[in-house]
Amino acid sequence: MKRIQLLPFIFSFLALLHASCTQGSQGKRDTRQKESRQAITKDEILTGADQLGAYLPLLKGKKVGLMGNQTSVVGPDKKHLVDVLLENKIDLRFAFAPEHGFRGSIERGEKVSNEVDEKTGLPLYSLYGKNKKADSIVNSIDIMLFDLQDVGARFYTYIASMHQVMQLCANHGKKIIILDRPNPNGDQVDGPVRKDDKFKSNISFHKIAMIHGLTIGELAQMINGEGWLDKGKKCDLTVISLKNWDHKTPYSLPIIPSPSLPNDVSVRLYMSLCLFEATDVSVGRGTDWPFQVLGYPDPSFGKFTFTPGSKPGMSAHVEQQDKTCYGLDLRDIDPKSSTFTLKYVLDFYKLFKKAGIADQFFARPEFFNKLAGNDKLIQQIKAGMTEDEIKESWKPELEIYKKMRKKYLLYPDFE
């Protein structure tokens, strides 16, 4: 009888112990994120948008257009750039929106509609996809402002949007001002260089390394300097440079750049995990941990489990939705030590091969080739090459790119 009475107390103790362990793990993640954010305050990094005195005088008396989204904020209070411009009596006529929309809440690859900003009444136009009115829209203003937070990977589409805006400005003789922001992955240059134009798309727009190691301001200078605009045109470009930042400085994004990159860990792992987007392996879309977990509905893939569901901004395209996935939990990695690697892709391909379903791994091969910027990587993986062997094969072109990159750096490098 006494033994039975003890059972409720034992269960209560075990429940408290489990809660304590879970909170401890979460506490470590929260502390790591907090420490990373504190680095910004300590170093007093000033983005281009923060430096009002450098660009507001250039806008006075001009008709102005803006390309921005939810990351276009100013100062420690994170006031939106649109509000700042209007408060300073700038004649702001419209804003262009990139992939994910002006407020950053639209699913990857989904259509971004032309609309009106509810708060200010500012006309909003999409530049994600074709916009037949883009030429007349840009031709109606004097100066374009560009302020988007990139993450340093060639397949992140904001840099393709920047190229489009630069081309429009060059076509119509309009000035463009880039408000520069740190590259949270700017401490490395890696991956294959996209060379052949047959792999050109919004996710592989430029002839740069997969992990390009540039800020948007540095890349804009490269686009201009290398003559990559149509017919070799150059746009009238001004970059408002960062202060107190270099390529060795860690940077925690104050505003998430898109729905599936919610924290520092996801931003750092995105470089290595985005290739899975061309497979049926889940990268955690539809969970609270996108680009922080990996899994497939097969128990042989690992002990860690998660079930992708439906989340705002991640509902339209969720791999393995409502299925229990088995794989890896990467949430506790240190973002500062995480660098680009092919390890995860190579390891999961081996798991598919072991399970006898290797032919199912590259579910969308053409998409994989566009992400990679070539059709060699897919063949190298299938051939069983090691990461070192694969990296050695792209080294010559990567070295050429690195030399070109040096010409356009605005900040001290990590080497």
Whose CA is closest to 329, among 283, 383, 271? 283
> Residue by residue, what is the 3-state secondary structure of the chain?
CHHHHHHHHHHHHHHHHHHHHHHHHHHHHHHHHHHHHHHHHHHCCECCCCCHHHHHHHHCCCEEEEEECCCCEECCCCEEHHHHHHHCCCEEEEEEECCCCCCCCCCCCCCCCCEECCCCCCEEEECCCCCCCHHHHHHCCCEEEEECCCCCECCCCHHHHHHHHHHHHHHHCCEEEEECCCCCCCCCCEEEECCCHHHCCCCCCCCCEEECCCCHHHHHHHHHHCCCCHHHCCCEEEEECCECCCCCCCCCCCCCCCCCCCCHHHHHHHHHHHHHHHCCCECCCCCCCCCCEEEECCHHHCCEEECCCCCCCCCCCCCCCCCCEEEEECCCCCHHHCCCCCHHHHHHHHHHHHCCCHHHCCCCHHHHHHHHCCCHHHHHHHCCCCHHHHHHHHHHHHHHHHHHHHCCCCCCCCC
Check residues 36 and 29 and name the one with the higher pLDDT: 29
* Lowest mean per-residue pLDDT among 183-187, 225-229, 307-311: 307-311
User: Would the CA dihedral through 184, 186, 192, 197 be positive or negative?
Assistant: positive
pLDDT at 287: 95
Domain map of the chain by residue range? 52-240, 264-384
Torsions phi, psi for 370 (to 5 deg) = -70, -40
Residue 112 has pLDDT above 80, yes or no: no
Residue 384 has pLDDT above 90, yes or no: yes
Distances (CA, A) of 137 to 132, 177, 234, 411: 10, 17, 19, 34
Name the pLDDT band for 192 (thresholds 50, 70, 90): very high
pLDDT at 122: 86
Average pLDDT value for residue range 381-410: 98
Looking at domain 264-384, which of 3.20.20.480, 3.80.10.10, 3.90.1150.140, 3.40.50.300 is its CATH number? Answer: 3.90.1150.140
Q: Which amino acid is at 206?
A: H
* Structure tokens that stand for 111 in this block: 């259509």
Q: Using one digit for the tens of pLDDT, what is the confidence trace for 243-282?
A: 999 999 999 999 999 889 999 999 999 999 999 999 999 9
Instruction: Note the pTM of the prediction, 2 decimals.
Output: 0.86
Supply the CATH classification number for the domain 52-240: 3.40.50.12170
- Please check whether the two domains, 52-240 and 264-384, share a CATH topology: no
